[in-house]
Structure 1
């Protein structure tokens, strides 16, 4: 009998599986389940973008791309950041195309971290940052953001978390799961601390196009003194409904991008060719698609937030991404208990806040990247669930 534990890397074996997928998998095994658990646009990739990918296949464009990605795509990415945020990047030396934003995040950690380096991670936040830090021999240092602060990272909390071993701050805004954003004044306060302590920043901006009201996204790379110490990670999954195309990118200082490219070169080789041709079209001609989808998400956002507040599950107004993070403490249930009973009793799947860090206890994540019809059915079932809880 082989004892596989003797062969499996001990560090990897201690990493917990994603808490998001647990309830998604349960939902897939049940009938009549309404899922609000996965952060995936319900829109199809716009036709003109799909068509460009299809045409590349018809023309036999199925070869490897350069390691960094096609020059044409990198030029469009650089042009996009200049047009949207006024930040100039050298398409040749400061841009790397990756297999989704997740690969780019992994490359940042593995490039910057030496064993024992500390990475500050505001939570609740997406599930990958902490495990990827551990797998890169770094040490996660968690800052628990608070509901009363609209889950924003405060400069005072950042300052208190810094030690001589701190090297990197993860800045995950607009935020998954809370929908929180950071405004310019927030970022300026954070940047002052970063400069003072000579730290680097990983700015995950995958939801940058999904902000609402008059609150446009601000990249920390725009702030004085931060361009040279920020790696921006972004991609096409959320803004252009291109989740399955698996395409992302990183932007940053030349020396860092060069080392990230080396890791990418040996581990991945290059991002999918067909997806790159589609992404060129998305950046060139996809602005109207983004505006349409953002408008639809905004309508859904207001429906879901108003519905939860009316039910008594208080919910601050999320101004980014496509999630709400209602507080369920009034029910007397833990986040895990609430989600388990909801899916069993009413066949509605949401995700426990604890899947995104311990500070998520007492909250659940609800995705509104679903149709109005889908959302209304789910919200009615949740309302019934709460009424039955009150009756005991």
Structure 2
């Protein structure tokens, strides 16, 4: 059995005990000298010396509050800025070669083209009907003018008959005939006007048929609505598309959106246009601005949707990647202190102890804002505070302390 290590440990323990607990006795004995002069008068220790003897020695720092950017941290994911599934509005067989997913397309590029079949013939027929309807307008207007001329002649004859009848030169039969002629002419004018209206209606109907036939032909070509990437292959050559059939899916990734959900307790801290920084799961950092802030909370989670728009010209970011988002919020006044300064009171409240009035300890509750490599940022303290960082666990409120100050970072 090795007894030397045990003896060495015992001697070290005795030395530590003497140095810590018997330090005053040892120093007093070393410094005291016997009194040889009977005229020497020993004085009583002063009141300040007595108070210092009862005070607990602690180490503190003098901290001044500073404004920090208390960014709001949320987790979210990337989403394409725009995404659309292009569907057919008509039926037909695909006659275009397919484009493979991942291909870049620009607005207006034809993705799917359908067989026109008889649609061009239907358009030609509608155009012919429109031309025929337009030829009926002059004929109807000529009939209307003829009827108006007959009405004018009948009215002249009727006026003459009425004047002759008043002088006794025309019979009542003649007057009745002229009046009947006026009524007949008026009916012809109304019929002619109706004919003109019917001809114009025929033109409008023919124009609608032409527009419908042209629109049906336009629907044969399904084009990309914006610049983007194909997320799926386009419809295969020879396949039959029915109304609602999928042609392709196009997504736009520049710019891209970062989407997260903010608790209702923090939503008031975010404003539109606020700067945001995000770290992707790959380690890449991106920056953007808040572009959307929901006004309606999710019914289940009671959180609000927030979107950040981020430039993505190289298409490095993909749809559906997870990310940690830091949104800039209004700064707070806080103190940067070491973690060792934190303690709990008897009620379990998190806080620190400071050197209060008359050098007595005082507990102050704090709020942890941020944890960094340099220390922790705490709110809830006065603008200037003497915070105890060593010894706060062995004192309570009102206990006198004798602080030794050190600089932060030591």
Band of TM-score, shorter chain: under 0.3
More strand by percentage: 2
> How does the TM-score come out when normalised to structure 2?
0.18
Greater Rg over alpha carbons, structure: 2
More helix by percentage: 1
> How does the TM-score come out when normalised to structure 1?
0.18
